Amino acid sequence: MIQLLIPKAARDSAPAAVLNVSSGSSSEVVSSGTGNSRQLGERRWLQVAGSCAGFTACPSATTAAQMLLGAAGGGATPDVSLSNAAFTEGVCEGGAGRRQWGLITNTSWTAGHAMKPWLPRGAVVLSSGAAPAAACNYNSLGSYSLAAGGGGDPDLDALVPGQMSYDAAVLEFDVTPRKSGLLTLRYVFGSDEYNEWVGSPFNDVFGVLVSPAGQLQQGSAGAASRQMALVRGSAAQPVSIATVNAGANADLWNNNQPGEVAQLKATEADGYTYRLNTRGYPVQANSVYHVKIAIADIGDQILDSWLWLAGESLVVNSRPVAVAAGNSINPATCGVTQKAITFNASASSDPDKDPLSYVWVISAPCRPVIIRRTAVAKVNLTDLADGANYTARLTVTDDRDAEVVAERNVTVPVGCGSTTIANTCTQPPSPAPPSPAPPSPAGFIPRVVWGAPAAAVVPCGGPGVVLDPGSAAADILRTQIWPDGEPTDPGSERTAYFVWALYDSFAPEPPGPPAALRVTAINSSADDPSLTLSAATDLRQGPVSRKWRVRLWVSDSPVWDEGNGGYVSGQVFLQVLHCPLLPGAAGDQLPVVWLGGEGQLPDPLSLGCGAAVAVNASAARSVALARAGLNTSGGGGQEPTVKFRWSLTHEASGRVWRRDVINDPTFVLNTTQVLEYAGMSLSDFSVFSLELQVELSGGLLISDDKWRVRVGNEPARPAACAACTAVAGARTPRTSCPPPPPSPQPPGINVITHDLVAYYDTPASLPRVLLCCGSTSPSSITPQAVASFVAEFKSNMSRALGIPTSQVVIRLLVVMNKTLIDAAPAGHHRLLLSSSPADLQQQNLLPLLLPATAGNKHGRQVADPDRRALQGAGTTISGAGAAVAILTFSIIEIQNTNTPNPPPPINLGLLPAAVMSSRLYLSAPSDGGGGGSGGGGGAEDDAPPAPPPAAPATAPVFVKVSGMMAHGAVGQTRNLVWYDDADFADQRADGGALNLVDWAAGNRSACAISSRCGQCGHAWAAFFGPFQVTLYFREPVQLSRIDIREIANPAVAQVQLLPWPAVSFGPDLPARRGVLGRPINMPAAAAASTACPRTASIVVPIRRAGLGIKVSSEGSQEALPRALRGTAVGGVTLLLKAPATPGDAGRTWVESVRFSGRVLYPKDAAVYSAFKPSSGAG
């Protein structure tokens, strides 16, 4: 036996462990030390370095997307126009920081780069790690890896069910085709996951997803249906490491694995595809389509992948025209002068003048198939069966993989063909496939033989792995340790030591010797030097996936890199799969995840069914207090109050749960309970993201990109649940069984369901998305139209009420007696279709007619006593006749009374304008009292309310504005006054800030426009220092330009943008403190000008403006998408230079400040009609 000393790991505080391993030696050796160590780093240079120049990092999304646009046939005008480009996931920092996207122009390819001949117009690069490596014209590393530290993408998660994605880079944009055809894109995919991880769960994924704009489907079916990056000729097989490699579709792939090819190709990737085309997506001219291009690591954050998107290759392709022609067989001349038959496709053509390829498949029943791959194919008559009827199927394909098929039939007259061609229908059956290998016996440990490459996957619960050097060390043993031959005499043994170095691929490699060492020894080549590694102790298997890299040093010394010996060529990778955290026994401490500090993101983890974890944010609290300059010592003064604002997102559906906790930094997360409470499936792998913001006294809100953790919920397997037994007072340790069902809702959480019925009385009142082109026939309603209606309707309800779309449930849709959606109880729709006054009262339907109240025009929810939209059950319903369509749906309201200031109830009075039906009713309880909302029945109004105002078919997610004034500023007695407040006129004063937000034309007496300086009461005056004024927006705004007119002593020097919201709108939308980037300077020409009056335009830089970022229909002002948070403005501060002359003579007067850009998620788009440019709504 040899005793093995393991030095302490760099990230492990445990003491060094001792492991006993059998070997061929009876000697005992205990050794450690560093010696003259040669550093064996993670980045092992494989060939002489070339160049990585020519890469442009971090371009704007619009620049990147524009580079892709091209024209089929080489036209000068791109086939599509572009809008709403945005990088929605990923990290791109300047300098040498993390950069996940960039450009390689047509003139900046490095010499000899493998991609240059395929991508002559340059490429846009997306990467799951280091995008700049895509420009390198050499393979520098056998395992290139940069953990970008970013999150995953729900669509990519859906493409690989049961796995989590990491480090996603996503480019999204909309296109409007100028012609109809097939939308295609060219690309190359490469990865350093090749070849070690082919066939493993760690196959990095990418997607090119296309769909009509506004019709995105969620979940795996939705992502798969939009995936256009498919293997050529397959129906639904995506291009990936698992589907394109040496053993599958090898004709589409290039091997660049060090040690496997004689000459490495001029690119970093260890394997990559040829230039491929996405499958053509059918598009119609002048319609809008959404394109999402994404790439991510799968299973872990190790080993990078790259996607090269060909410049000028996004085109609308036209299908070719196939013509299958040729001669026939003449019975009179066959076999004499006619020896063959010709199949001719020369008349085939392509509208885009693309080169064509041809495949003839000539077949007859029970006869061998003949294949030819030329336009003109000659087939000898002796190759055709006598008397057989052949079908010649021609497939014509252009160079963008658009295919067209044509056929012609040929009969071989008797006496003209061969009588010896075998009848395949009478051939003996193929031999049965071999029996599968027997299962491995219990306790079997897989063995990995050293080589390049070599890899193994250690499953959860597996015993471990055996590393076998095989014959890889034979040369070192022969030349370095036993140069005179193996010792044979007793006592003359010379021990050979195999020193195995383990590197944690998730952690930076420490300097000096490796972080963990194992040693085996042999005295002759007959001994076994293999090393057995335990999954639990050596490989540290746990709730987080790990990847180890193993190197081998063989010498006559048991110390790493010492003695006579050498490094064994190659390395072994070990992927250690995570084991989900399991429920523990009652009283056990929950596992803790530490969130905060200045380090990296916490490792993602998985929870078994019913398991919980405690997320502790003490470190985040300390960081937040330190950043705010507050007490963190816990002694000497009063401890500051800290509010922890937690947000839990179900990534696939976008559903969000929020919780605010005072002073307690621990959040207990049980994802199984969340799914059960939400009524979501436990049988699917689900991914959650938990994020934290810390709010300090005074509303100061502090956040950090690293204050989040991703958690996977392992699926419950119903077959195994029968084995689950409830143990009183304990949490049963099972991974496959759900816990006992929780109570209907947690204490303090009230769930109220509002059931509603909408009637559409005429075809003209139907939503336009259902009936196309003026048709009044239900047969014209397609499934796509129904899906579009559902998405649009739920989105409208979400925006009107400020709730997630998941809280809008459509139960029944019947149009002209055709049932399109039916999730209602049996027979329910037959009663609803009658809709006579008596029937409506019998069904307890209460008319819901009131529009939004004047006091609620900006989304402020009115109090419960004011919810008088419900009329009593005895109300006479006039005008209720037969309807052409019925829609029943439910609004689910969740009230959280645990917060100090719970939000007011949903204002159902906002619904009529959003639903836009002829009539809208709220279902009442059977006793006729009150509404389904739980509110009082309400007395009947003295007079019928006015009909709801007209509303657009789709509420805009943004409104473009030009020349808009600010919404609010400080008044005479109040710190914030909005432009439409009732006391605005009383709060305004000459020279006050409200003059810069006065929207009412009647209040204003315009300042005189002249060529000289002067004062004006309806302007703002810089009376006192500090010389600045702050203006606020009531809704989030992205600014592209700010126009400032100064009419006396111009002195505005800078404009500081404030984040949204700059002021608090209640507990659910607290103010964000701080600023939004650095101040923007006044243009140099304006700053140097002495002209007075002075009108200056400040143009906000494109990236800071953010107008190219796509505005998701799933967002809201209260739940602003992450991509918009960095550019959404809640206010601005004008910073002035101090006056050169004191008093009135030197005072600056600003007449107006006007803003251009777009308002995000406007509550009422009509408010901005006076400021809306020609292309106003989004």
Query: What are the E-state strand segments in 399-530?
Result: 403-411, 447-449, 454-458, 464-468, 496-504, 516-522
- For residue 657, how many C-alpha atoms fall within 13 Å in the half-sphere facing its CB? 18
Q: Is residue 667 part of a domain?
A: yes
> pLDDT band for position 38 (50/70/90)?
very low
- For tokens 């790990």, the residue is 546
pLDDT, one tens digit per residue, over 1013-1036 is 777 767 888 876 667 888 999 999
Q: Which residue, 270, 289, 317, sits at the end of a domain?
A: 317
Same domain, 348 and 474: no
> Best-predicted range by mean pLDDT among 82-91, 484-493, 834-843, 1141-1150?
82-91
CA–CA gap between residue 909 and residue 869 (Å, rounded)? 6
The H-or-E segment that residue 1045 falls in is: strand 1028-1048
What DSSP line would sit under 515-530, residue for residue? SEEEEEEESSTTS---
Contact assessment for residue 960 and residue 1172, using Cβ atoms and an 8 Å cutoff = yes
Same domain, 1101 and 975: yes
Is the pLDDT reported for residue 955 higher than 90? no
How many angstroms separate the CA atoms of 362 and 379, rounded?
A: 9
Spatial distance between the Cα atoms of 216 and 654, rounded to a whole number of angstroms: 13
* pLDDT band per the 50, 70, 90 thresholds, residue 1175: low
| pLDDT for res 1131 | 92
Alpha carbons 1065 and 394: distance in angstroms, whole number: 67
Residue 35 lies in a domain: no
The CATH number of the domain holding residue 619 is 2.60.40
Q: Torsion-angle region of residue 778: left (phi > 0), alpha (psi -120 to 50) or beta?
A: alpha
Q: What is the rounded average pLDDT of the residues 43-60?
A: 62
Task: Give the residue-averaged pLDDT of 546-571.
Answer: 85
Q: Is the dihedral of CA 856, 862, 865, 867 positive or negative?
A: positive
Q: 50 pLDDT band (50/70/90 cuts)?
A: low
C-alpha 699: how far from its chain's center?
31
Residue 107, domain member (yes or no): yes
* pLDDT of 646 above 60: yes
Q: Which residues of 301-319 are buried (b: 16+ CB within 10 A; e: fewer)?
A: bbbbbbbbbbbbbbbbbbb
- How do residues 1113-1167 score in pLDDT, each as one tens digit? 888 888 888 778 889 999 998 888 877 777 777 788 888 899 999 999 998 888 8
- Spell out the long-range contacts of 367-370 with Cβ–Cβ below 8 A and sequence spacing 24 or more: 367/421, 367/423, 367/424, 368/421, 368/422, 368/424
The b-or-e profile of 769-792 (16+ CB within 10 A means b, else e) is: bbbeeeeeebeebeeebbebbbbb
In whole angstroms, what is the distance from residue 1143 CA to residue 58 CA? Answer: 49
Domain end call among 524, 544, 576: 576
Residue whose C-alpha is closest to residue 4's, from 501, 471, 504: 501
In a domain, 933, yes or no: no
Residues 6+ apart with CB under 8 A from 298: 156, 160, 163, 164, 165, 166, 201, 202, 203, 204, 205
CA–CA separation, 356 and 868 (whole Å): 69
Dist. CA 221–CA 67, nearest whole Å: 30
Two tokens at 158? 């859906």
pLDDT at 792 over 50: yes
In angstroms, the CA 395 to CA 400 distance is 14
The pLDDT-based confidence of 179 (bands split at 50, 70, 90) is very high
Residue 1000's pLDDT is 65
Model confidence pLDDT, tens digit, residues 568-621? 877 788 888 878 887 776 567 788 888 876 556 677 788 887 888 888 888 888
pLDDT tens-place string over residues 255-294: 888 767 777 888 888 889 999 999 999 999 999 999 999 9
Per-residue model confidence (pLDDT) at position 343: 95
- Our measurement of the distance from residue 20's CA atom to the centroid of its chain's CA atoms, rounded to an integer in Å, reads 47
As a whole number, mean pLDDT of residues 1062-1074 equals 78
Choose the final residue of a domain: 525, 541, 576.
576
The pLDDT, as a whole number, for residue 716 is: 66
Give yes or no for a contact between 554 and 565, defined as CB atoms under 8 angstroms apart.
Answer: yes
Write the CA distances from 938 to 893, 919, 931, integer angstroms.
20, 19, 9
Tell the residue number behind the tokens 């027997």, with chain if given.
438
Instruction: Judge if 1031 and 900 occupy the same domain.
Output: no
Q: Which of 3-17, 324-338, 714-728 has the lowest mean pLDDT?
A: 3-17
| pLDDT(48) > 50 | no
DSSP character for 385? B
The confidence score (pLDDT) of residue 490 equals 66
Give, rounded to a whole angstrom, the gap between the first and last alpha carbons of the chain.
Answer: 74
Q: Are residues 360 and 400 in the same domain?
A: yes
- Preceding peptide of 1093 cis, ω within 30°: yes
Which position has the higher pLDDT, 944 or 453?
Answer: 453
Q: How far apart are CA 63 and CA 898, in angstroms?
A: 47
Per-residue confidence (pLDDT) for residue 823, from 0 to 100: 66
Low-confidence winner among 53-62, 571-580, 889-898 (lowest mean pLDDT): 889-898
**In this model, does residue 926 exceed pLDDT 50?**
no
> What pLDDT, on a 0 to 100 scale, did the predictor assign at position 1151?
87
Kindly tell me the sign of the dihedral angle through the C-alpha atoms of 822, 650, 934, 875: negative
For the ranges 630-644, 894-908, 923-937, the lowest mean pLDDT is seen at 923-937
Which positions ≥6 away from 628 have C-beta within 8 Å? 696, 700, 702
Indicate yes or no: pTM above 0.95: no
- Rounded (10°) CA dihedral 502, 504, 510, 516: -30
Three-class SS of 327-370 = CCCCCCCECCCECEEEEECCCCECCCCCCEEEEEEEECCCCCCE
CA Rg, the chain, in Å? 36
pLDDT band, very low/low/confident/very high, at 953 (cuts 50, 70, 90): very low
Question: Which range, of 712-716, 939-943, 1082-1086, averages the lowest pLDDT?
Answer: 939-943
Q: Is the pLDDT of residue 835 over 70?
A: no
The number of residues making up the chain comes to 1178
DSSP H helices, 386-485, are 474-476
Across 662-668, average pLDDT: 86
Question: Same domain, yes or no, for 333 and 313?
Answer: no
How many domains, the chain?
6
Confidence of residue 750 (pLDDT cuts 50, 70, 90): low
Least-confidence region, from 128-132, 306-310, 1033-1037: 128-132
pLDDT at 434: 58
| Domain span holding position 1151 | 958-1171
On whether both 1021 and 1155 belong to a single domain, the answer is yes
Does 1107 lie in the same domain as 1142? yes
Please state, as a whole number, how many other Cβ atoms lie within 10 Å of the Cβ of residue 463: 17
Pairing relationship of beta strands 253-255 and 356-363 according to DSSP bridges? unpaired
CA distances from 1102 to 850, 1124, 1157 (A): 43, 14, 11
The CATH number linked to 364 is: 2.60.40.10
User: How high is the pLDDT of residue 147?
Assistant: 61
**What is the spatial distance between Cα 135 and Cα 53, in angstroms, rounded to a whole number?**
7
Residues 329 and 307 grouped into a single domain: no
**How far is the C-alpha of 923 from the C-alpha of 831, rounded, in Å?**
14
> What is the pLDDT averaged over residues 996-1001?
73
Residues 210-231 have a mean pLDDT of 70
**Between 340 and 856, residue with greater pLDDT:** 340
Residues 339 and 296 in one domain: no
> Which residues contact residue 1047 at a Cβ distance below 8 angstroms, ignoring those fewer than 6 apart?
1007, 1013, 1014, 1015, 1016, 1019, 1092, 1093, 1149, 1150, 1151
Locus of tokens 């490469």: 190
Q: Are residues 640 and 783 in the same domain?
A: no
CA angle in degrees (0–180, nearest 5) for 1056-1060-1066: 130
Please indicate, yes or no, if residue 942 is contained in any of the structural domains.
Answer: no
Query: Residues 1162, 1049: contact at Cβ < 8 Å?
Result: no
Residue 39 lies in a domain: no
pLDDT-above-90 percentage for the chain:
16
Average pLDDT, the chain: 74
Average pLDDT over every residue of 621-647: 76
Structural domain contains residue 50: no
649 occurs within a structural domain: yes
Identify the CATH number of the domain in which residue 975 sits: 2.60.120
* Rounded Cα distance, 938 and 873, in Å: 9
What share of the chain has pLDDT > 70, as a percent?
A: 73
Q: Do both 898 and 763 map to the same domain?
A: yes
User: Between 1057 and 145, whose confidence is greater?
Assistant: 1057
**Residues 964, 979 contacting (CB under 8 angstroms):** no
- Give the sign of the dihedral formed by CA 927, CA 929, CA 933, CA 934: negative
Region 350-358: what's the mean pLDDT? 92
Examine the domain organization and report whether 355 and 286 are in the same domain.
no
